[in-house]
Amino acid sequence: MHSSHDAAYSATVPFYDLFHEDGHVPAIRRTLPPLLAGVRRGVIEIGAGTGLITEVIARETPAEVYAVEPSLGMRSVLVSRLAADPATLSRVTVLPCGALDVEVDEPVEAIVMISVLQNFAAVDRAELWRVLARQLEPGGRLVFNWRDRAPAVPGEAQVLGSYQVGRHVYEISGQVLDVAGESVTTRFVYRIRQRGVAISEDEMVSTNHWPPYERLATELRAAGFTPDEAPDGLRMWRLVN
C-alpha cells in the first residue's frame, strides 16, 4: 500500500467517474441547468474534477467556462474529455489552482461548486467567500450542493461501491475514524480485484467539514450574498449589488 498522500490521491482517479456516476452526478445533471438559465458570458467551476459537471455547464450555456482543478490527475482526464469536443475545448479554460487562488480577467455571472464545499474548514470558508465574491459580478449566482447530514459516527469499514471493469472489480470502501465538531476524518480504500483477489490497493485518509446549513447561511450573508430559490439539494445565493 502506498504511503504517500499524493500517490494515494492519484490512485483514486480511475475510480472517480465510476463512483460519482453512481452518486450525485445524475441528479445534478437534472437540477443544475435551470439555475444556469440566462448565463451567457462567464462561469467558474470550483473543483471541476474529471469534467463530469463541466460538460453540463458547457452544454447548458454558451458562456466561457473556467474549470478550477488543483489535481494533475483529475485535470488530465478533464482535458482528455474536453478534447473529444473541439467546440467545448475552445471555451473551457482549465485553471491548475485551488479555489482560494482563483483570479479571472472579468467578473463572471455564475460560480458552481458541486461536492466541493466540505473540503473547507471554517477558517478557510471565510476566505473562500471573499475570493468568490471578488470573481462574481453584482447579482451573480453562487450555486453549490448541500444537505444537512446525520451526525457521523466512527465505525468499521463498509463497501461504498463496487464496479465491474472488464474482468476486474473496482471497489471503494470507507469508514469514519474520528469526529470533532463539524470535522469528520474518514479512511477510504480503493481496491482492484481480479477473481476476488486484490491486485491493487491504495488508502487515503481525509478530513471533511460538515457544518449545519444555517451556519453556512450566516457566513454567506456576512460575505454579501443573499439566498435565492433552488431545487432540493442545491443552494443558490446571489451577490448583493
Q: What is the mean pLDDT of the chain?
A: 95
Q: Over 90: is that where the pLDDT of 170 sits?
A: yes
What are the φ and ψ backbone dihedral angles of 114, each rounded to 5 degrees? -115, 120
- CA-based nearest residue to 47, from 115, 132, 107: 115
What is the widest separation between alpha-carbon atoms in the chain? 60
**221-232 pLDDT, tens digit each:** 999 999 999 999
Contacts of 29 (CB under 8 A, 6+ apart): 56
Grid cell listed for 229 = 430559490
Q: Over 50: is that where the pLDDT of 2 sits?
A: no
Grid cell listed for 231 = 431545487
Grid cell listed for 209 = 467539514
Residues 90, 96, 100, 102, CA torsion sign: negative
Task: Categorise residue 225: left if φ over 0, alpha if ψ from -120 to 50, beta otherwise.
Answer: beta
**38-71 pLDDT, tens digit each:** 999 999 999 999 999 999 999 999 999 999 999 9
Taking the C-alpha atoms of residue 122 and residue 126, their distance in angstroms, rounded to an integer, is 7
pLDDT value at residue 3? 37
